[in-house]
Amino acid sequence: MKLIGDMFNDIAHFPLGRGLIFDGIASTIEATLPSSSISNVLEYEDKVREKPTLTIPACATLQRILFMFIYGEYDGDYSLTIPAMRCVEKLYKHVVQLMFIEQKNDPIHNRDHELSTVPNLDLWYGISIAFFTACTNPNEKISKQGLEACQQHTFVPNMDEITDSKWIALINNMISKQPPVVPVMPRINALSIIAQLMVKLFPSMTSREDNWKILTELTKRVVSIADENLSGRRSPDILFDLTVTIVTHLSVQLGSAKFGGDKRYCKWASDLFTKVLGKNGAAKANMIAKQSIAEDSDESDDEQSTQSDEE
């Protein structure tokens, strides 16, 4: 498989060969993989047995080439980045199903043990990084698709299945790969995914004291990104206004009594984000955004209360 992968890689460095190689990979995926909509392991296993399909090593070889398309490694050509991401998603789902099948049929495996939705952390992590890199692409269409792909892949059903060290490495990598402030949307998309991860992860991660030091440093670095986005700008300005919205939402969530996690840490982080808004003259915009977020939260609570009453 390595020989085939190296051959594909060499051919893809030529403009005429690039499309040929990608079309070959995409058509192979389309022709040999069962539908990714099949979630049941037994049903997927039946489909795999019906006709030959890609093995895990074969998927790894194709993914390596697809990552090159995503990263623009072929003469800075990003024209196939979006379809390459879709192919990576399909291959990943296929690999996960094959791993599930292997675990299910392993006589040593504890049948009572529930299968993890992330059976290969390194593969999950590598794809998360690739999709985030697309999120930072200066092309706004690619950046938007990268953000959506990153959200769908990175936010697994059970966030606790990913180790703290992997989450910290991922966030650290994202912070280190911030795009320039212009164009605006890739910069906003990059900040948005980091903020979403903080909201999802901090309730559990801050409850473990061993994480406090590194999370403190990560939080300060995110504040620095927000400060850079806001510095020298005033509303109406897309970068300024969207940064205020993201940072305000983050501050509100961290400071909420319902948030969970270590209260002292979350209050410190919430106050830090509020301060950077005030420092950059966004106090009024911050207050308006907070009010809007609070109203949305109240409406959500009312809807849940109504549904509960009806039940």
Report d(CA 162, CA 167) in Å as an integer: 7
Query: What is the pLDDT of the chain when averaged over all its residues?
Result: 89
Stretch 71-86: mean pLDDT, rounded? 97
If pLDDT is split at 50, 70 and 90, which confidence band does 297 have? low
- pTM of this prediction? 0.89
Stretch 213-233: mean pLDDT, rounded? 95
- 10-26 pLDDT, tens per residue? 999 999 999 999 999 99
Which pLDDT score is estimated for 282? 79
